[in-house]
Chain A
Amino acid sequence: MTSQRVIGLLGSFPSPAAVLKAAESLRDAGYQRFEVYSPFPIHGMDRAMGIKDSPLGWIVVTCGLIGLSGALLLQWWVSVEAYAIVTSGKPLFSFQAFVPICFELMVLLSGFGAVFGMFSLNKLPQLYHPLFRKQSFLRATSDGFFVSVDADDPRYSQVETADFLTSIGSVTVETIEE
């Protein structure tokens, strides 16, 4: 625990409004590598931080199309190629009867895409994070609002950034060690 490398600063804020304003100030001051932590999503925070829209929808569409076409392919192959038996006098490729399973598998695969896509975009599970060592950060899942600034941000400077955090309303400023 002697000489641990500092990887950033952590400021705490009293309310959603305060942390939203802080994010706007950081964005306007040119900071890019900072993050906001809150016990619930704060309306308007994405714009305040200046981050791009989530690409999750594209992942889900891709998965859904795989599910849809996979289901159709499976049912066609089973009913026409592998086990061609005439049922109720219907044609072998009676696609109308395949619609329900196509729909279900499309939803199933899209759901997998949404959940596991979200996990991978968020790089979860990540059972260790330097912030988990901070006693004060335990409040981030209860009633604490925090902002962290990464040390590798081009605008970062140990002293100036700390002062800046205080000037935009941070109640406490701590260093985050590796």
Chain B
Amino acid sequence: MSVMVDDPSVRTPLVLGGHTFASVSDAVCAPVEQKAPKWWVASFAVALSLLALLLAMLSKLVWTGVGVWGLNNPVMWGWDLVGFVFWVGIGHAGTLISAILFLFRQKWRTSINRFAEAMTIFAVMCAGIYIAFHVGRVWVAYYLFPIPNSMAMWVNFRSPLMWDVFAVSTYFTISLLFWYVGLIPDLATLRDRAVTKTRKIWYGIFAMGWRGANRHWQHYERAYLILAALSTPLVLSVHSIVSFDFAVSQLPGWHTTIFPPYFVAGAIFSGFAMVVTLMIIARKLFKLESFMTMHHLETMNKIILATGTMVGYAYAMEFFIAWYSGNPYESFAFVNRAFGPYAWAYWTMISCNVIFPQLFWFKKIRRSIPAMFVISIIVNIGMWFERFVITATSLHRDFLPSSWFYYSPTWVEVCQFIGSFGLFLTFFLLFLKYLPMIAISEVKAIMPEADPHHHGGDHV
């Protein structure tokens, strides 16, 4: 293999460091079985205080009303919706890695899918908080569901917001089930390694009596395949439906047919960036570099580059159509987006999402940990700005110039967003401590020794 070009006939090994089946279990289970390291305790304390901040902001919101946010007429959607779309988008990388790459038989996914799926679930939880609380009177949030009630009132199934409720709740449920099904064999591994009674009982209950029987594996693998096949269109539908919240409305800047694919590409883009950010930290702290290899990071960076370019294409195409349609309102919305009062947000978005990821064309940068760490964070900042630009710039210049208004968030919105990271991190840190962050049985299955026709074992 030369330095600059990979030999395509040689598969890059996915597990480094001469691991055996037993040592894979040892390495992955070590963080779960050892005492929590100091950095974990410290980060958990930070995460909990951020979570407390979120709860305080939500309490203030419920106690006082939505007026604590900076929303105005015409900008009636602000950081609430931006936060929702941001978190749902981040979640999508997990499903992409676990489902779509599984269907494409991308074996490299096995050491990162558990990690990314956990991220999905916690990110969708953060998104769910935004949905539940942005309705204002959160105690009647059950109106969102078609539940028989004494007012004989029913939901409007023709509204994209209703589709969103079904899409996001289905997405959360299926992601959770998929994640749990994947965990069962590994929970059994932890159960069988347990030295304390507490562990034996709890991992035992959640492992459900898994014992690795081939008849079980047969149904299990089929269930896993079906879940992957279901999750693939599901994840595409979820962000398409999120984009319908905008696209089905009649507002210039929102009413565009490119939104569904553009939102899906953006979601994968931001989600992969988040996986890279978290993975760089976790592989270092837990010494799992032999599973989450440079090859994994580089492959993910390539996907960031590809999806970032798609997003850039979508930005350009929106402008082109705004001009080509000859619709003065549409043209105004886009010129105003780039050169109006929110130009600073627009150009932040362009530089973070379109310019910086292009650095990944260079192999050196694709394989440099500090560079990819910085770029992955820049991408997430950029993707947050994308949602802000779409939401705020399209709303703040209404059809009637008399209702034009500038929107800025209040401290409550800002602190709520910061606090949502607390919710995410709290759960993520608990996951890192109490569950195997790498799918042990799946990694073993892709090791060359797992192939019954492998040469060089102790048989033949």
Show the binding face of A for B, using Cβ within 8 Å: 14-18, 20-21, 23, 35-46, 49, 51, 54, 56-57, 60, 74-75, 78-79, 82-83, 85, 87-88, 90, 94, 97-98, 100-101, 103-105, 107-108, 110-112, 114-115, 117-119, 121-122, 124-129, 131-132, 137-143
In whole angstroms, what is the CA distance A155 to B216 when docked?
23
Cβ-defined contact, A56 with B156, below 8 A:
no
Q: Is B197 an interface residue (CB 8 A)?
A: no
Cβ-defined contact, A43 with B218, below 8 A:
no
Cβ-defined contact, A125 with B166, below 8 A:
no
Which of A54, A82, A141 touches B185 (beta carbons < 8 Å)?
A: A141
Which of B177, B221, B459 touches A18 (beta carbons < 8 Å)?
A: B459
Cβ-defined contact, A143 with B21, below 8 A:
yes
Q: Could you say which residues of chain B place their CB within 8 Å of the CB of A83?
A: 152-154
Mask, B37-58, CB within 8 Å of A = 1, is: 0000000000000000000000
Mask, B127-167, CB within 8 Å of A = 1, is: 00000000000000000001000001111111110110011
Show the binding face of B for A, using Cβ within 8 Å: 20-22, 25, 146, 152-160, 162-163, 166-167, 170, 173-174, 177-178, 180-181, 185, 188-189, 191-193, 204-205, 208-223, 226-227, 230, 233-234, 237, 241, 244, 440-442, 444-445, 449-454, 457-460
In whole angstroms, what is the CA distance A104 to B214 when docked?
32
Q: Could you say which residues of chain B place their CB within 8 Å of the CB of A129?
A: 209, 211
11 A–B contacts from the bound complex (CB under 8 Å): A35-B213, A37-B214, A41-B441, A43-B452, A46-B214, A83-B154, A98-B157, A111-B178, A117-B223, A140-B212, A141-B188
Which of A35, A56, A94, A139 touches B226 (beta carbons < 8 Å)?
A: A56
In whole angstroms, what is the CA distance A51 to B216 when docked?
12
Q: Could you say which residues of chain B place their CB within 8 Å of the CB of A23?
A: 214
Q: Could you say which residues of chain B place their CB within 8 Å of the CB of A49?
A: 214
Cβ-defined contact, A40 with B441, below 8 A:
yes
Cβ-defined contact, A75 with B157, below 8 A:
yes
In whole angstroms, what is the CA distance A118 to B241 when docked?
30
Cβ-defined contact, B193 with A44, below 8 A:
no
Q: In angstroms, how far is the closest chain B Cβ from the Cβ of A25?
A: 14
Q: Could you say which residues of chain B place their CB within 8 Å of the CB of A82?
A: 152, 154
Q: Could you say which residues of chain B place their CB within 8 Å of the CB of A127?
A: 204-205, 208-209
Cβ-defined contact, B157 with A79, below 8 A:
yes
Q: In angstroms, how far is the closest chain B Cβ from the Cβ of A61?
A: 10
In whole angstroms, what is the CA distance A27 to B25 when docked?
31
